[in-house]
Amino acid sequence: MRRQLNTLYVTTDGAWLRKDGANVVMEVDRDERVRLPAHMLEGLVCIGRVGISPPLMGYCMEQGISISHLTSQGRFQARVEGPVSGNVLLRRAQYRASDDPVRCAAIVRHVLIGKIHNQRAVLARGWRDHGSGIPDVPAFQHALKRLKHIPRRLLQEHDVDVLRGREGEAAKSYFGVFDQLIRVDVPALRFSGRNRRPPRDAFNALLSFFYTLITHDCRSALETVGLDPAVGFLHRDRPGRPSLALDLAEELRPLLGERMALSLINRRQLNERDFQVFDNGAVLLKEQARKTALVAYQERKREQLGHAFLEEKVDIGLLPFLQAQLLARHLRGDLDGYPPFLWK
């Protein structure tokens, strides 16, 4: 159980939450594990098999404390709130910001600063760990410099379309040298550029699989904090598309997408036999490969890293929820700007 931004995240399977006086108590097999002051809570997120006593649920409803339930895999199930909820006000603020070119551009700018910063972090770690094996050092170093410079240019831009153009420049530099991070000399596992719908090589198939998982987690996080996953800023409205979930996923893709794919390939946890090629050229993961990738993804989410804005260690699996909360706080006016996730 961890408390982040005054929201209590309960991830222990079989946990039982109850109210004892002015405190919230978590028990496992009737053994008290945690005790926290109830007045400090703003939200309660239960992940997996977590039970809540009726008195605690009643207290949360009276105090306007939302309770969200997710599966152990992070899929959103339900959100319980009392009769007075700030959801409608938050969503109105979200819709106004999405329609306001100035506010929309400000949020997009910070999302892209986070994304490009984290893309550069992937390359920098590759250089730090395996710099001697980089085939084209000048091109790789040039990409690192470009990805350091582009976020500074974003600070001077105030038009969403121009910001998207800068994102495209960063992607070209990033993916242009990405194949140099692959240390397996198997042609079928090399990366020649990003392609999708459908992916046409093994590495892109793996990226698309992880991107889907990340977007799924971001959608659950947005629903948990009360934001509308369909109304975004970088990704515009389109029927059936979770635009805001795609926005939120951008900052997390380098860490949970590209870095994860590199690890599975370079550690030979997946090989060319784990992918199926179809007649139309599409390449997809076979069933066992999907299981391998999913297990690795869930294990990664249980690890911790430092959050630059919060200045504390957090579970990687909570990043979508923390970023969704920070975005909600910005939209409510509690934060001057949206603080993106910056991977160190």
Angle at the Cα of 261 from the Cα atoms of 257 and 264, rounded to 5 degrees:
140
For residue 198, cis peptide bond before it (omega within 30 degrees of 0): yes
> Which amino acid, one-letter code, is at 155?
L
Q: Which segments of the chain does DSSP mark as H helices, in order?
A: 54-63, 87-99, 101-130, 137-154, 160-176, 202-225, 243-253, 259-266, 287-301, 319-332
CA atoms within 13 Å, Cβ hemisphere of 270: 31
Contact 75, 215 (CB under 8 A): no
- Residue 250 annotated as lining a ligand binding site: yes
CA dist 1 and 188 (Å) reads: 43
167 is in an annotated binding site: yes
Residue tagged 């380098």 (tokens): 254
Query: What distance in Å separates the CA atoms of residue 219 and residue 40, rounded to the nearest whole number?
Result: 26
What DSSP state is assigned to residue 197?
Answer: S
What is the C-alpha to C-alpha distance for residues 319 and 317, in angstroms, rounded to an integer?
6
130 is in an annotated binding site: no
Residue set of the binding site for Mn(2+): 167, 235, 250
Residue set of the binding site: 167, 235, 250
